[in-house]
Amino acid sequence: MLHNSLKRNSINSVDKKETFFITLVSRLRLEYNRASRFGYIDMLFAQIFTLIVSSGTQFFVLKLITNDNLGRIKIMQVFVGFGSLIGSLGINTAIIKFVSEMSDTREKNRCFSSGFSMVLISSVFLICIGYVLNSLGVFSTDRIVCSLLNIYLLSLPFMILNDFLFSFFQGRQQFHMVSRITIISKIASLAAIVGATYLFGIYGYLGAIVGVFIFTFSIYLFLVRDLLVQLLSLFSKSYCYKLFAFGRFCLAANLVGFFLASSDIILLNYLHAPLPEIGAYSVALFIIMFISQANSSAMLIALPKLSSHCTELDTVLQNLRRYERRNIILNGALFAATLTAVPWLLEFIFGSKFHLSISYLPYLLVGYLMSSVTIPKGQAIISLNRVDMNFYGAIIVAAANLCIVFGFIRIWGTKGAAIAAIASGILKILCTEITWHIILRSKRVVNHSVSV
C-alpha cells in the first residue's frame, strides 16, 4: 500500500512538472504571437540592424580600425547625434502622438507635410552651421577629427529626415512594413560598410555610413511619393505651430537627455583623455547601446498605444503596469546575459585588445539597468501631455550628473566616467518617480473635480 502511495505521488509530481512546462511554453508562444501581431518582433530586429549600421558597425570592423580611430568615431557620433536632435525640432515625438490620435487621413497628411517642411529647412540650415563650427575647431582640437567630420556631417540632413519619416509611419502604427524595409536596407548596406572600411580604412567607413543614410532616405521617399507631390498644397501654418508647441519641450528634454547620456564622452574629449581609452570606453558603450535596442523597440510601440488612450487615466495606468513588468523582465535577462557572456566573447574573439573595455562594462551595465527602469514612466508622461515635466526633470538630472561625471573623471580618469553611470541611474529613478507622482496627483484632482 505504501509502495502504491509513493508511486501515485511520483506520478502526480511528474504530471505537475509536465503541466508546468506545457503552460510555460503556451504562455511564451502567446506572448510571442502577441508581440509579432503588434510589430514588436519586427521593430526589435529593425532597431538592432539600425544600430549595427550606424554606431554599431564599428563592432564588425574592430580589427580594421585602431583604438585611436574608434575614439575619434565616438567623438564624432556624439556631435552629429546632438545635431540630429537639434534639427528634428522635437517634431518626431509630436508627429507620433498626433498622427496616432487622428482618425482622418487628410489631417494626418497635413500634419506630415507641415512637419516634413520644417525638418527639411532645419536640416539644411544645420549642416551649414556644422561646417562653419568645424572649420573653427569648436568640436575638437584633433586635426584628424576635424578632417573626418567634414565627411560625417554630410549624413546629418539625411539622418534627420529619416528619423522624421520613421516617426510618421510609427504614428500610423505601420510597424511591420517599415521594420522589414529597414532590416532589408541595413543588411544590404552592412556588407558595403565592411568592404569600404577594409579597402579605405576609416575614410571608407565614414563614406559608406553617408551612403547608407542616403540609400535609406531614397526608400522612404518612394513610400511617401504621393504625399510629397501634395507637399505645398497640404502645408498648414496652424499645424506647424501645433507641432512646434508640443515639440519644443520634447526637443529640450531630448537635448538634455542626450547631453546627459553623452556628457562622459564630451568631457573626456575636452579634458583631453587618451584616445585609446576613449576608444575602449566607446566599445563598452556600444555593447550597452546594442542591448538597449530591445527596450527601445518596446517603447517605440508603447507611446502610440498609450497615447491612443491618453484621456483614460485608468487605461494608461493599466498599460503602464504591463509595460513596466515586461521592461523589468527583459532588462534583467539582458543584464545577466551580457555580464556573463560578453567579457568571455571579447576575450575569445579579440584577445587582450579590449581588456580595458571589459573593465568598464560592469559599471555601465548597472547604470543602464537602473536607467531603463524609468523609460516606461517617461513614455507615459509624454502620452499624458506633460512633456514639460519631463524637461524640468531632465534639467535637474543633467546638471547634477555633469558635476558628478566631471568630478569622477578628475579622480579616476576614464574609469570614473563609467562609475558615474551608476550615480546617473539613481538620479533618474528618483527624479522620474517624483515627477510621476506629481502628475498622477494633479490628474486625479482634475478628474475628481470634473466628476463632482
Residue 251 covered by a domain: yes
% the chain with pLDDT above 70: 79
Residue 432 covered by a domain: yes
Provide the pLDDT for residue 43. Answer: 58
Residue 316 has pLDDT above 70, yes or no: yes
Residue 379 in grid coordinates: 513614455
Q: pLDDT tens for residues 392-428?
A: 877 888 888 889 999 999 988 899 999 999 988 898 8
CB contact at 8 A, 116 and 124 = no
Which has the higher per-residue pLDDT, 17 or 332? Answer: 332
Residue 367 covered by a domain: yes
Residue 435 covered by a domain: yes
Residue 30 covered by a domain: no
Provide the pLDDT for residue 44. Answer: 60
Most confident of 128-132, 207-211, 218-222, 287-291: 128-132
Residue 298 has pLDDT above 80, yes or no: no
pTM higher than 0.85, yes or no? no
Q: pLDDT tens for residues 19-30?
A: 544 554 455 455
Residue 346 has pLDDT above 60, yes or no: yes
**How many distinct structural domains can be found in the chain?**
1
Q: pLDDT tens for residues 234-262?
A: 788 888 888 888 888 778 878 887 887 78
Residue 185 has pLDDT above 50, yes or no: yes
Provide the pLDDT for residue 377. Answer: 82
Residue 39 in grid coordinates: 510589430
What's the whole-number mean pLDDT along residues 53-77? 76
CA distances from 178 to 56, 138, 271, 421 (A): 20, 37, 41, 33
Q: How confident is the model at residue 160 (pLDDT cuts 50, 70, 90)?
A: very high
Provide the pLDDT for residue 272. Answer: 83
- C-alpha to C-alpha distance for 287 and 335, rounded to whole angstroms: 11
Range of the domain at 162: 41-451
Which has the higher per-residue pLDDT, 367 or 169? Answer: 367
Q: How confident is the model at residue 154 (pLDDT cuts 50, 70, 90)?
A: very high
Name the average pLDDT for the chain: 78
Residue 436 covered by a domain: yes
Residue 417 covered by a domain: yes
Provide the pLDDT for residue 52. Answer: 60
Residue 25 covered by a domain: no
Residue with cell 506572448: 31
- Residue 312 CB burial class (10 angstroms; 0-12, 13-18, ≥19): exposed
